[in-house]
Amino acid sequence: MSIKTQTIPQEVQEVIDDLKKKGVKFIKCSEEEAIQYLQVRDNSELIPLYVSNFDKDDSDTTSNELIDVDFAYLIDLYEIDDEVKTVVFRMINQIERFLRARVKQTFNQLDESFGIKISNEFLSLDYDGEQENDTSDTSEEPKRRIHQNIISRKNDKNVKVILSKYNVDLTKKIQDIPPRDLIKLLTFGDVIKFFHYYSYNYGLDDYRLTFPLNDVRNLRNDLFHVQPILVGLDEMESNYKLRGLVIPFLTELGFSKYRIWSKLRNPKTRQLVNVIYSFNELVKDDNLKQFINQIINDLFETRMFQHPEYYVNNYLLTSTYYFFLEIIKKIFWQFSKN
C-alpha cells in the first residue's frame, strides 16, 4: 500500500503544513518522503525545532519565511544531532566516572574520621533543608532532595551494598558514611554538590570546577529527556559576562575575547564547551581520549560533510562548526598526529 492511500496521522500532516507556512521546501526530499520519514521515525515533534538554525527572509516582514530551506536539511541536522548526542553522552559518562575517582582520591589522602565529618556536615545541610538555598520554601517539611535521591536508588545493586554495609535507616538522617562510599549512593548531580561543598568550604581550588560541571549535569539531564542539542543555537543572552574556568581555557587555545563572548552567550554552545573542558580536565586516560578523538574526527570530518551544500550560506551553523572544530583540534592534537 502506498503512502498516498494510507491515512496520514493528524500530527504529521500538521507538521508538514506548518513547515510549508514557514517556507520549508520539499524538493530534495518530497512531501511524500517527508511524511513517510516522520511516520517511521516518530519524530514529528522534534524535526520542526531545527528551523530555528536557518535564516528567515527579513526583507519581507509580512511573511517571515525561511530562506532556501528544504526538508532534507532538517533531516540531516536531526541525524547529525543524534550522533552529537551519542558522543557527548559518552564524554559525560567518563566525566562522571573520573569525578567520582577524583573525590575518592582526595579523601584517600585524608584521615577517615575527617572525611566522615565532612560527609555528615553535607548530609545535615540537606536534611535541614539548607542545601538548595531555597528561601522561598516555607513548608515545615524540608525538601531533603539528596536523601530523597538516595531513597529513589535504594534498589540499585551497588546502593544496596552500601546501605547494608552501614545499616542505613532510610527513615532517618544518613550519617557516618566515609566519602569513598557516600559517593556510591549519590547521583551525578549530588556528587557535584558534594564536590563543591568540601572543596569550597575547605579552601581547595577544585571548587571552581563546579561551574562547568553544573552545565555538564544540565546537558545530561536534557539528553535523558531526549532533548535536542543542536536547537536554539541562535538564542543569545544579551547580558552574558565572561566568567569561569572556560575563559582562560579558550584564551590559551588562541581565541579572542570577542569570539569567546559571541559564542558562549548562547547557552547550548556554552554547555558543549564546558563538556569538552570538563572532559579534558578530569579524564586522565590517554587511550580513552584517543578513542573519543577518533569518534569526533569521524563526526566532524566525515558525517558532517555528507551534505555541505545544505549549510554553505548558513553563517550560524558553519561558524559554530568551525568554532568547535578548532577547539577539538587543539585539545586532541597529540592524538590526531598518531
Task: Report helix, strand or coil for 110.
Answer: coil
pLDDT in tens, 35-89: 999 999 888 899 999 999 998 866 655 556 777 899 999 999 999 999 999 999 9
Counting other chains too, the contacts that 207-211 makes at CB distance below 8 Å and 24 or more residues apart are 208/244, 208/245, 209/245, 209/278, 209/281, 209/282, 211/244, 211/245, 211/274
In a domain, 182, yes or no: yes
Q: What is the pLDDT of residue 62?
A: 55
Q: What CA dihedral angle connects 326, 331, 335 and 337, to 10 degrees?
A: 50
In a domain, 32, yes or no: no
Q: What is the pLDDT of residue 139?
A: 43
Alpha-carbon distance of 186 to 16, in angstroms, equals 44
pLDDT in tens, 181-232: 999 999 999 999 999 999 999 888 888 899 999 999 999 999 998 899 999 9
* Residue 136 grid coordinates: 522561598
Instruction: Grade residue 1 by pLDDT with cuts at 50, 70 and 90.
Output: very low
In a domain, 48, yes or no: no
Q: What is the pLDDT of residue 19?
A: 94
In a domain, 115, yes or no: yes
Q: What percent of the chain has pLDDT over 70?
A: 90
Find the range with the poorest average confidence among 27-31, 128-132, 269-273: 128-132
Mean predicted confidence (pLDDT) in 88-95:
97
Task: Report helix, strand or coil for 190.
Answer: helix
Task: Report helix, strand or coil for 201.
Answer: helix
Q: What is the pLDDT of residue 70?
A: 95
Is the pLDDT reported for residue 147 higher than 70?
A: yes
Q: What percent of the chain has pLDDT over 90?
A: 75
Q: Are 279 and 91 in contact (CB under 8 A)?
A: yes
The total number of structural domains in the chain stands at 1
197: containing domain:
111-205
In a domain, 196, yes or no: yes
Q: What is the pLDDT of residue 58?
A: 62
In a domain, 305, yes or no: no
Q: What is the pLDDT of residue 266?
A: 96
Q: Of the ranges 28-37, 130-139, 204-213, which is most confident?
A: 28-37
Residues near 196 by beta carbon (within 8 Å), at least 6 away in sequence? 207, 210
Alpha-carbon distance of 82 to 11, in angstroms, equals 22
Instruction: Grade residue 91 by pLDDT with cuts at 50, 70 and 90.
Output: very high
Q: What is the pLDDT of residue 67?
A: 78
What mean pLDDT, rounded, does the chain reach? 89
In a domain, 41, yes or no: no
Instruction: Grade residue 336 by pLDDT with cuts at 50, 70 and 90.
Output: low
In a domain, 152, yes or no: yes
Is the pLDDT reported for residue 128 higher than 70?
A: no
